[in-house]
Amino acid sequence: MTTICRPTPDAIDYVGALPAGVEVLVWDGAGEPPVGIERADFFVGRYDGKPASADALAHMPRLQVLQLVSAGVDAWLPVVPPGVTLCNGRGVHGASTAELAVAGMLALLRDLPSHLVGQRTRTWRWIQSEGITGKRVLVVGAGDIGTRIADAVRPFDAEPTMVARTARRGVLAIGEIHEQLPNHHVVVLAVPHTSQTHRLVDARFLAAMPDHALLVNVARGAIVDTAALLAELESRRLRAYLDVTDPEPLPPEHPLWSAPNVLITPHVGGGTAGWQQRAYTLVREQIERFLRGEPLVNVVP
């Protein structure tokens, strides 16, 4: 008997029927654990990124696989029990997150917030905006999301440059990033939050960006030093589109809300219609691989 634990009742519907001999439990790691949780071999984490506690996972001594439906894993890393394989949701939210990154980029480069003010005040005012054509776009992260962003800007005659942890064909090493910053009009963050990328975008990083450059963050808020970014925004030297912030959620009194030259959305990169089906299609495929004893995909090293 193999026992699978899923976070919500509707996850059962999305995954569909599983082979005979598979027991299904519903628990997201919060509150009282269900009867039989000690038999769980495969646990699916909740979508909102909030990890189960180490105490909750301790109720599952047989646990072999912890499968997430989010791309980010940083919040889970401290609680993954030794010997448990952690897998993320790479590919589930890539298209929608890349879509939002490009939407935010275009909104600011075409100055859509100013046009929204004009609409609200019923003011017909012609504005010559920049657009993305001819811009050099530095994409930090060459995974699923970063690759999609680079591919998406090319039809607009923008020139993407990709950097990642290690260099390879068409991708520069992240160690070269400071030399690249002065030559790019847009910097997009699509990289995991790790000890290497924590506060990667600090005062020195931002100072290396040219005047009026645009920072786009669809990764994790803690990759950016918020105070340093706030200083650049308040001086009106740089612009930013942020789908993630540090802290998050952003408190109502935080000065970032009222800073000039910034557009903020509340971490909605993957939140498009149909994400559940995409996510649980991956979960089903992973469960089937697990049952057959085959290698899993999206394993986090």
- 2-92+273-292: CATH homologous superfamily? NAD(P)-binding Rossmann-like Domain (3.40.50.720)
pLDDT tens column, 184-224: 999 999 999 998 999 999 999 999 999 999 999 999 999 99
CB 196 within 8 A of CB 165: yes
Q: What pLDDT, on a 0 to 100 scale, did the predictor assign at position 242? A: 98
Which CATH superfamily, name and number, covers 94-264? NAD(P)-binding Rossmann-like Domain (3.40.50.720)
Residue 232, CA distances (Å) to 22, 43, 248, 266 in order? 55, 43, 20, 21
Q: What is the pLDDT of residues 37-75, one digit of tens each?
A: 999 999 999 887 789 999 999 999 999 999 999 888 888
Between CA 85 and CA 181 the distance in angstroms is 37
Q: Measuring CA to CA, which residue among 169, 179, 228 is closest to residue 201?
A: 228
Spatial neighbors of 103 by CB under 8 A, at least 6 apart, are none
Residue 254 CB burial class (10 angstroms; 0-12, 13-18, ≥19):
middle
CA distances, 15 to each of 32, 192, 252, 280, 284 (Å) = 24, 27, 38, 5, 6
Give the pLDDT of residue 18.
Answer: 85
pLDDT, residue 56, reads 94
**Whole-structure pTM value:** 0.89
What is the DSSP pairing of strand 186-189 with strand 214-217?
Answer: parallel
β-bridge partners, 43? 5, 66
**pLDDT per residue rounded down to tens, the chain (301 residues):** 799 998 988 887 888 888 888 999 999 999 999 999 999 999 999 887 789 999 999 999 999 999 999 888 888 999 999 999 999 998 898 999 999 999 999 999 999 999 999 999 999 999 999 999 999 999 999 999 999 999 999 999 999 999 999 999 999 999 999 999 999 999 999 999 998 999 999 999 999 999 999 999 999 999 999 999 999 999 999 999 999 999 999 999 999 999 999 999 999 998 888 888 999 999 999 999 999 999 999 999 8
Q: Enumerate the CATH 3.40.50.720 domain ranges in the chain, comma separated.
A: 2-92+273-292, 94-264
What does the pLDDT read at residue 13?
Answer: 81
Question: How many angstroms from the chain centroid is the CA of residue 178?
Answer: 23
Q: Is the dihedral of CA 106, 109, 114, 118 positive or negative?
A: negative
User: Which residues neighbour 224 within 8 Å (Cβ) at sequence distance 6 or greater?
Assistant: 189, 199, 200, 201, 215, 217, 242, 246
Q: Which residue has the tokens 């001594």?
A: 61
Q: In sequence order, which residues have a C-beta less than 8 Å from that of residue 270 and are 6 or more positions away? A: 70, 71, 92, 93, 96, 97
